[in-house]
Chains A and B, each alone.
Chain A
C-alpha cells in the first residue's frame, strides 16, 4: 500500500525536465519587473516569489527610487505600493504616467489599503489593476504579471 502511495507522490512531484526547462525559458524571457515597496520584508518576499517564477526583479524602497529605476531600467511591469513615506504610490503613479519614458510601462497597484478613493484614483490614472496584498499569495504575482507583459516584447 505504501508503495502505491509513494508512486503516486513521485509521479506528481517529479518534474518533466523538458517541460520544466520550457517553463523556465518562457519565464526568463518574460522580463524584468520592478517592485516599489517601503516595507523591506514584504518586498523581499515578492522578490523571492517572482524570481522563482523566472522574472528578473528590481526592488525600490521608496517612490523617488522607484521613479529613477523605472526611467533607467524600463521594467516590463511595475508593482507599486501606495502608503510610503516621502512620496506615496499615487504620486509615483502620476509621475510615471506624466513621463514619456515611463508612460508605456504597465503599473499594478499592490496595497493593503482598500480605501475606495485610492482604488478610484489609481485606476483613473491608468493603473492596470488594484490588488490587495492580503488577498493574494506571492506566487499569484507571476500570474498577474503575465497578464500585462506583452510576450512579444
Chain B
C-alpha cells in the first residue's frame, strides 16, 4: 500500500538520523523527559505533510524497527500545507546539518519553524533534520525549552481567556479581556481591536501597556485601510501580516503619536465563520519582530474574542429587544384596557340597574360610543406599530402627488380644527408634486402631524401645512403656534407610547404612538420625519421629507 511505503521511508529517515547521531536522539529523549518534545521525520503524502514523531527512547526504537512496541510512533497528517514549504522541507537533506530558517503555519493553527514545530501548544516536534544540531547544542536545547515553557504559559493564558469568553455576555468585557491578555501573552506595548462592518471599520478600543484601556468607538470608511499596506495585505490574504510600524501619516490623527513610538506590528484579521470580522493590531516599541509562535497565540485569542464579541453583541441586542417588547406589551395592554374598562363599566351599570334618568343613560351611551371609537383607532394604531416594529410594512414605493395627499389630509382634519376654533391653512405649489413612497402611509403621517398640531396648539389653534421641493427631496412641513416641546423631549417624542404631557393637555387623546409610527413609516419609504424646531411657547415645526422621483432630477 502507498501508506506503508510512505511510512517506511519516514522510518528510513529516522534510522539514518539515528545512525548518524549515535545516541543523539536517545539523549534528547532523556533530556526532554517532559515529553514536551519529540523527534520526528516528515514526508510529503499527496498534498499533505505527514509527520511521524516519537516521544521517548522506546518509541524511537520502535520507530526505527517500525514495530508495534509500547511507544508506538505516532503519525499525524497536516493537510493542505503550502506546497512550497513542503518542497523546501524535503529539499533539505536529512543528513545535513545546514541551518535553515523556515517559518510558517500549519493548517491546525500551530506555528512551525525549522527549529521546532509546535503541534497544538503543549507539544513541540523537533524536526529530524535539526536533530544532529539539537543534540550537540546545549544552547539550542535551552532555547527550545524556553520556547516550550512560553508555549505552556500561552496555552494557559488562552485557556483562561477562552473560559472567560465563554462566560461573558458583555461585549465590553470581551474586548477588555482580549486586549489585556494580548499584551501579557506576547509582551507587546499596544493592542487595538477593530470590528469590520459592511462599509466601515469600527475601532473599538485600544490598550497601551503604559496606560489604560481607551474606548474609541470611531468609524472609518473601509478605504481608510488603503493607507495601511500591512493591514490591507492582512485583510486581503486573510492571514496575519507581520511588519514594521504602520504608516503614521496615514493613520487617524488620534493614533499618530502612539503609532510613531512603535517599531514592530502584527496585523491579524480575525475570522468568524470564514469571514474577516475584525482586526487586531499588536505593536511593540522594541525592534523585536513577532515570531510565528506569538502570531499563533494572537490568532487563537483574537479569533475566539471576535466570536465571543459577536455573540455578546447578539445577546445584548436580544436583551434590549426583549425589554422593548415587554414594555410595548405592557403599554399596549394598559392603553387597550382603559377604553374597555369604560365600555364594560358603563355597560354593566346600564344592565344591572339601569341609570336613574334618561339624561344619565344618554351620557353613558355617548361615552361608550366615544370609547369604542377610540378603541378601534387604538387597535389600528397598535397593529400598524406592531407591523412597523417587526419590519413587515411593505415597501411598495410608487410615485404619487404629495400635494394632493397633503390637501386631502388637511380636508380630513378640518372638522377637528373647526371644533378647536382654530385656523388650518395649507400652502401648495400650483402643480402636482411627485414624491416616491406610499400615499396611504404619507396620509397617515400627515393626519397625525396635523391632528397633533391642532391638539397641542395654544388657543386658538393656528396650523399651517407647507409643501415644498428641493433638488432631490419633497418636504411637507406642519407648523403650529402651539405650546412647543422642551428640547429635552425632542428625541423622546418619536419613541413609542411617549406623550409630552404638561398637564394642560385635554384635547389630545391617543397612546403616544403617532410620531413613533410616523417616523418608522417615513423610514420605510426611504424618507425622514423630523422635528425641525420647537421650544415652549414658540410652537413646533415637524417635517416629512421624501425623495423625488429620479427623472425629476434633470427637470
Across the A-B interface, give the 4 residue pairs with the lowest CB-CB distance, nearest first: A112-B337, A134-B337, A137-B348, A85-B501
How many A-B residue pairs lie within 8 Å, measured between CB atoms? 56
Closest CB-CB distance, B341 to chain A, in whole Å? 4
- Interface assignment of B238: CB less than 8 Å from any CB of chain A: no
Docked CA distance A113–B59 (Å): 76
Docked CA distance A45–B338 (Å): 12
A and B contact pairs by CB, cutoff 8 A, 16 listed: A41-B367, A45-B342, A48-B360, A52-B353, A83-B334, A86-B503, A111-B334, A112-B333, A112-B334, A113-B330, A114-B333, A132-B337, A133-B338, A137-B345, A139-B348, A139-B349
User: Chain A residues near B367 (CB, 8 Å)?
Assistant: 41, 45
Docked CA distance A85–B506 (Å): 12
- Docked complex: A107-145 residues within 8 A CB-CB of B: 111-115, 132-134, 137-139
Instruction: Check B344–A134 contact: CB distance below 8 A.
Output: yes
Summarize B's interface: helix, strand, loop or mixed.
Answer: helix
- Interface assignment of A49: CB less than 8 Å from any CB of chain B: yes
Docked CA distance A133–B348 (Å): 13
Closest CB-CB distance, B337 to chain A, in whole Å? 4
Supposing A113-B333, A114-B333 touch, asked if A139 and B352 sit within 8 A by C-beta, the answer is: yes
B residues in contact (CB < 8 Å) with A: 330, 333-334, 337-338, 340-342, 344-346, 348-349, 352-353, 360, 367, 371, 501, 503
User: Chain A residues near B344 (CB, 8 Å)?
Assistant: 134, 137
Q: Which residue of B lies closest to A141 (CB)?
A: B345
Q: Which residue of B lies closest to A46 (CB)?
A: B345
User: Chain B residues near A114 (CB, 8 Å)?
Assistant: 330, 333
A residues in contact (CB < 8 Å) with B: 39, 41-42, 45-46, 48-49, 52, 62, 83, 85-86, 111-115, 132-134, 137-139
User: Chain A residues near B342 (CB, 8 Å)?
Assistant: 41-42, 45
User: Chain B residues near A86 (CB, 8 Å)?
Assistant: 503
Q: Which residue of B lies closest to A45 (CB)?
A: B345
User: Chain B residues near A138 (CB, 8 Å)?
Assistant: 345-346, 348-349
Docked CA distance A139–B503 (Å): 30
Docked CA distance A6–B158 (Å): 90
Docked CA distance A49–B344 (Å): 13
User: Chain A residues near B341 (CB, 8 Å)?
Assistant: 42, 112, 133-134
Docked CA distance A45–B342 (Å): 7
Supposing A42-B338, A85-B503, A134-B340 touch, asked if A115 and B330 sit within 8 A by C-beta, the answer is: yes
Q: Most chain-A Cβ atoms within 10 A of its Cβ — which of B334, B341, B360?
A: B341
Docked CA distance A111–B333 (Å): 11
Q: Which residue of B lies closest to A116 (CB)?
A: B330
Q: Which residue of B lies closest to A84 (CB)?
A: B501
User: Chain B residues near A132 (CB, 8 Å)?
Assistant: 337
Closest CB-CB distance, A41 to chain B, in whole Å? 6
User: Chain B residues near A112 (CB, 8 Å)?
Assistant: 333-334, 337-338, 341
Docked CA distance A139–B355 (Å): 13
Docked CA distance A137–B350 (Å): 11
User: Chain A residues near B345 (CB, 8 Å)?
Assistant: 42, 45-46, 49, 137-138
User: Chain A residues near B371 (CB, 8 Å)?
Assistant: 41
Supposing A41-B371, A86-B503, A133-B341 touch, asked if A113 and B334 sit within 8 A by C-beta, the answer is: yes
Docked CA distance A15–B334 (Å): 39
Supposing A41-B342, A134-B344, A137-B344 touch, asked if A48 and B349 sit within 8 A by C-beta, the answer is: yes
Q: Which residue of B lies closest to A44 (CB)?
A: B367
Q: Which residue of A lies closest to B370 (CB)?
A: A41
Contact of B503 among A62, A111, A115, A134 (CB under 8 A): A62
Docked CA distance A132–B337 (Å): 9
User: Chain B residues near A83 (CB, 8 Å)?
Assistant: 334
Closest CB-CB distance, A50 to chain B, in whole Å? 11
Supposing A112-B338, A112-B341, A133-B341 touch, asked if A45 and B346 sit within 8 A by C-beta, the answer is: yes
Docked CA distance A132–B353 (Å): 23
Docked CA distance A114–B337 (Å): 11
Docked CA distance A115–B337 (Å): 13
User: Chain A residues near B353 (CB, 8 Å)?
Assistant: 52
Closest CB-CB distance, A113 to chain B, in whole Å? 5
Q: Which residue of B lies closest to A140 (CB)?
A: B348
Instruction: Check A39–B349 contact: CB distance below 8 A.
Output: no
User: Chain B residues near A42 (CB, 8 Å)?
Assistant: 338, 341-342, 345
Docked CA distance A52–B337 (Å): 24
User: Chain A residues near B346 (CB, 8 Å)?
Assistant: 45, 138
Closest CB-CB distance, B358 to chain A, in whole Å? 15
Q: Most chain-A Cβ atoms within 10 A of its Cβ — which of B340, B344, B360?
A: B344
